[in-house]
Amino acid sequence: MSKAPTSTNRTGRKIGQKVKKAKLKPSSRRWIERHINDPYVQRAKLEGYRARAAFKLLEINDKHQILKDARRIIDLGAAPGSWSQIAAKVTDSTEDDIRVAAIDFLEIEAIPGVKILHLDFLDPSAPDLLIESVGGTPDLVLSDMAAPTTGHQKTDHIRTMHLCEVAADFAVQVLAEGGHFLAKTFQGGTEKTLLDMLKQNFKQVIHIKPASSRSESVEMFLLAKHFKGRKPAEPAAQDDH
């Protein structure tokens, strides 16, 4: 297995650039300026990652080593693919031996060593297709899924938390014993029922706010470590008649 990349502090662009296109709305100009001057955006370009989100995973891994022993990885809500890029590297996944499966209803450009499913994870066929694509039992399930925003904060929160719950249920059904689950959530919003379920199935459950997550963002990540394994199915009750 390849060594996981680390979260280093390198940038490639001078900070403080301004956007001069006069036709842009002030809000759009501010967003673009923030984006192009974001050191993590610059690092992503410099180091060949498709998005700044790569550094969120790398930071979490630096502390918690969730990529260390991963042989197979499933990436939910994977577009544009930066987490899958890392996953392919650490698992030594190749086109002849696929060990990473990624899914999103958004288009994802091909990534060497990654089986990409252009499909909504809520589609009933998605779980089986992911397991088939990754070629075995995954050691890590990643989820960066978030519902398309409506502009109504409470509604957006509920919809994204539902995706987190569905991803957690999937992880419990498919993970290898000792495996890990990492998912996007929101500050102060993880439901008690979800936390209770994860605590029953994993040895450690924690919330993380990596430094590469923008300070104004309400996103956090929910990490469940060391899956306890599934209990053997109980035998069916015998009919006395």
Instruction: Tell me whether residue 192 is one of the annotated catalytic residues.
Output: no
For residue 227, what is the enclosing H or E element? Answer: strand 219-227
Q: Find out whether 82 and 76 touch, Cβ atoms under 8 Å.
A: no
Q: Which two tokens stand for residue 183?
A: 């998912």
Tell whether residue 83 is among the known ligand binding residues. yes
Peptide bond into 232 cis (omega under 30): no
Tell whether residue 240 is among the known ligand binding residues. no
Tell whether residue 144 is among the known ligand binding residues. yes
CA–CA separation, 78 and 106 (whole Å): 9
CA–CA separation, 10 and 8 (whole Å): 6
Cα dist from 177 to 70, 91, 182, 228, whole Å: 12, 17, 15, 6
Sequence-distant (≥ 6) Cβ neighbours of residue 140 within 8 angstroms? 66, 67, 70, 72, 73, 74, 87, 175, 179, 180, 181, 182
Determine the straight-line distance between the first and last CA of the chain, rounded to whole angstroms: 56
Q: Find out whether 74 and 130 touch, Cβ atoms under 8 Å.
A: yes
Count other Cβ atoms within 10 Å, centred on residue 137.
13
Q: Which two tokens stand for residue 99?
A: 């060990």
Of the candidates 213, 229, 231, the one whose C-alpha atom is nearest the C-alpha of residue 221 is 213
Tell whether residue 156 is among the known ligand binding residues. no
CA–CA separation, 226 and 128 (whole Å): 23
Residue from 56, 115, 184, 225 carrying the catalytic annotation = 184
Tell whether residue 69 is among the known ligand binding residues. no
> Which residues does the annotation mark as catalytic?
184
Residues forming the annotated binding site?
A: 81, 83, 104, 120, 144
Residues forming the annotated binding site for S-adenosyl-L-methionine?
A: 81, 83, 104, 120, 144
